[in-house]
Amino acid sequence: MRICCIGAGYVGGPTMAVIALKCPDIEVAVVDISVPRIAAWNSDQLPIYEPGLDDVVKQCRGKNLFFSTDVEKHVREADIVFVSVNTPTKTRGLGAGKAADLTYWESAARMIAEVSKSDKIVVEKSTVPVKTAEAIEKILTHNSKGIKFQILSNPEFLAEGTAIQDLFNPDRVLIGGRETPEGNKAIQALKAVYAHWVPEERILTANLWSAELSKLAANAFLAQRISSVNAMSALCEATGADVTQVSYAVGKDTRIGPKFLNASVGFGGSCFQKDILNLVYICECNGLPEVAEYWKQVIKINDYQKNRFVNRVVASMFNTVSNKKIAILGFAFKKDTGDTRETPAIDVCKGLLGDKARLSIYDPQVTEDQVQRDLSMKKFDWDHPLHLQPMSPTTVKQVSCVWDAYEATKDAHGICILTEWDEFKQLDFKRIYDNMQKPAFVFDGRNIVNMEQLREIGFIVYSIGKPLDAWLKDMPAVA
């Protein structure tokens, strides 16, 4: 059997690498239109940072795992074609700011129809709005020249930073397909691939629409937990409760469970906001404004949380950060990834730059080039293929990136911790304090520092949802 995956990104790359590792009898080709991306997959420096990924790729590359820009050849030869291309949010026209832009999906589907010479199973792998499969099915069948295509939806639930673990040991694999004999045969074929390593009872099957909607729903539920605890964090600060204690107590209820209850500066990543916007759009299109409003609130609280954080920083520092050096520790949307898509750091940095701060940014996995691109990009441009993204001719001058936390914090007035990298927990804060301007501030957007220890050193410390320093009480931030 031959598998081809169109799109060598955060989803396509790791997923196919794991399929290749677990299914030595299957030949897997990952194709992309981006030449540098494929070159990187074929080099020692993979294009994405993901713990454990190097190992998996090294074991299979050149044996039954191939990365190529020859999209048409590999699609033509494949029995199963996964499509994992970008699905940005539309910036203009109908549904702008909410609906998914299916340009890349549609062009992939048309290409599959054009080059295919044998029957194929086409698997929707990127998150796309409900009923996309139907549209894709129409494009394929209307251009099929007698070839039979079966469309499946097989949403990916991996989280970045733990992708390999999630793929090795998934909570569930979900396969949606047509409820016809041919549809069922296609479902069984894909099931057989996963059955190489996933226990049978964890492979769920559903109809196409349920599978598609489940992905949006799962992400909306997860994001909702974070917005719920973040909303609580504001109330904790106002009343003197400690959000960590509250979420611990709440999570002990087995009906609620302890995971995904960490208050933070806000959620980021390529999925949560985009998927909820999609959900909102679908609800509106189906005449369900109340349901749309309900989910919209999850995003509103996330934006509120990022604004609130910026306001805390500015308010604490005498209501101005103009020309002050602020060290930004962490720019990725979570630890153990170099991915910056929709990272809360973008909004926080833009907020501080709006007040004319000078930023010195350190993230162990994010380059200066990426930071500059993120800070100068328009809201919804981030999810276009890299080579199509607008490159800003001007860099943001108030921003510099360094490769060391001590360098970033030297002579700074304040520190904002925006990603929970483990190495930030080990920093020598006494040394950092001695090299900073006074009063020295730490704003911990991930609740990873020991507040007491830092206060003893002399810092003024703000941690999300924790009892406030007297200093912060005297300088309230109005969000």
Catalytic residues: 271
Partner interacting with residue 226 (select from ligand UDX, ligand ADP, none; CB below 5-8 Å by kind): ligand UDX
Applying CB under 6 A, among 4, 10, 225, 233 the residue interacting with ligand ADP is 10
- Ligand-binding annotation for 341, yes or no, is yes
- Ligand-binding annotation for 358, yes or no, is no
Residues 309-348 touching ligand UDX, rule: CB under 6 A, are 333-334
- Ligand-binding annotation for 315, yes or no, is no
Per the DSSP assignment, residues forming a β-bridge with 328 are 361, 416
Q: Kindly report the length of the chain.
A: 479
Size of the site for ligand ADP (CB under 6 A): 21
Applying CB under 6 A, among 158, 317, 345, 454 the residue interacting with ligand UDX is 158
What SS3 string covers the chain? Answer: CEEEEECCCCCHHHHHHHHHHHCCCCEEEEECCCHHHHHHHCCCCCCCCCCCHHHHHHHHECCCEEEECCHHHHHHHCCEEEECCCCCECCCCCCCCCCECCHHHHHHHHHHHHHCCCCEEEEECCCCCCCHHHHHHHHHHHCCCCCCEEEEECCCCCCCCCHHHHHHCCCCEEEEECCCHHHHHHHHHHHHHHCCCCCHHHEEEEEHHHHHHHHHHHHHHHHHHHHHHHHHHHHHHHHCCCHHHHHHHHHCCCCCCCCCCCCCCCCCCCCHHHHHHHHHHHHHHCCCHHHHHHHHHHHHHHHHHHHHHHHHHHHHCCCCCCCCEEEEECCCCCCCCCCCCCCHHHHHHHHHHHCCCEEEEECCCCCHHHHHHHHHCCCCHHHCCHHHCCCCCCCCCCEEECCCHHHHHCCCCEEEECCCCHHHHHCCHHHHHHCCCCCCEEEECCCCCCHHHHHHHCCEEEECCCCCCHHHHHCCCCC
- Ligand-binding annotation for 10, yes or no, is yes
Applying CB under 6 A, among 68, 107, 210, 370 the residue interacting with ligand ADP is 107
* 128 contributes a contact to ligand UDX by CB under 6 A: no
Using alpha carbons, select from 447, 454, 476 the residue that is nearest to residue 247: 447
Q: Which is nearer to ligand ADP, 102 or 460 (CB)?
A: 102
Applying CB under 6 A, among 60, 100, 220, 271 the residue interacting with ligand UDX is 271
* 267 contributes a contact to ligand UDX by CB under 6 A: yes
* 84 contributes a contact to ligand ADP by CB under 6 A: yes
Applying CB under 6 A, among 4, 7, 150, 175 the residue interacting with ligand ADP is 7
Applying CB under 6 A, among 86, 116, 219, 305 the residue interacting with ligand ADP is 86
Applying CB under 6 A, among 157, 168, 304, 433 the residue interacting with ligand UDX is 157
Whether 89 contacts 272, CB under 8 Å:
no
**x/- track of binding to ligand UDX for residues 52-91 (CB under 6 A):** ----------------------------------------
Using alpha carbons, select from 82, 134, 129 the residue that is nearest to residue 108: 82
- Ligand-binding annotation for 273, yes or no, is yes
Binding segment for ligand UDX (CB under 6 A), chosen from 145-153, 267-275, 352-360, 388-396, is: 267-275
* 261 contributes a contact to ligand UDX by CB under 6 A: yes
Partner interacting with residue 444 (select from ligand ADP, ligand UDX, none; CB below 5-8 Å by kind): none
Size of the site for ligand UDX (CB under 6 A): 19
Applying CB under 6 A, among 262, 340, 360, 409 the residue interacting with ligand UDX is 262
Whether 104 contacts 385, CB under 8 Å:
yes
Q: Which two tokens stand for residue 201?
A: 């009872």
Applying CB under 6 A, among 27, 32, 124, 156 the residue interacting with ligand UDX is 156
* 304 contributes a contact to ligand UDX by CB under 6 A: no
**x/- track of binding to ligand ADP for residues 378-397 (CB under 6 A):** -------x------------
* 334 contributes a contact to ligand ADP by CB under 6 A: no
Collect all residues with Cβ–Cβ distance below 8 Å to 334 and sequence separation of at least 6.
160, 161, 268, 269, 419, 420
Give min distance, CB of 210 to ligand UDX, in A. 17
Count the Cβ atoms, other than its own, within 10 Å of residue 287.
8
* 42 contributes a contact to ligand ADP by CB under 6 A: no
- Ligand-binding annotation for 7, yes or no, is yes
**x/- track of binding to ligand UDX for residues 200-239 (CB under 6 A):** -------------------x--x---x-------------
Applying CB under 6 A, among 14, 269, 351, 465 the residue interacting with ligand UDX is 269
- Amino acid at site 178: R
Q: Which two tokens stand for residue 164?
A: 């390999």
Residues 175-234 touching ligand ADP, rule: CB under 6 A, are none
Whether 412 contacts 404, CB under 8 Å:
no
* 101 contributes a contact to ligand UDX by CB under 6 A: no
Q: Which residues bind ligand UDX (CB under 6 A)?
A: 156-160, 219, 222, 226, 260-262, 264, 267-269, 271-272, 333-334
Provide the annotated binding site for NAD(+).
Answer: 7-12, 32, 37, 85-89, 126-127, 160, 271-274, 341
Q: Which residues bind ligand ADP (CB under 6 A)?
A: 6-12, 32-34, 37, 71, 84-86, 104, 107-108, 126, 270, 385
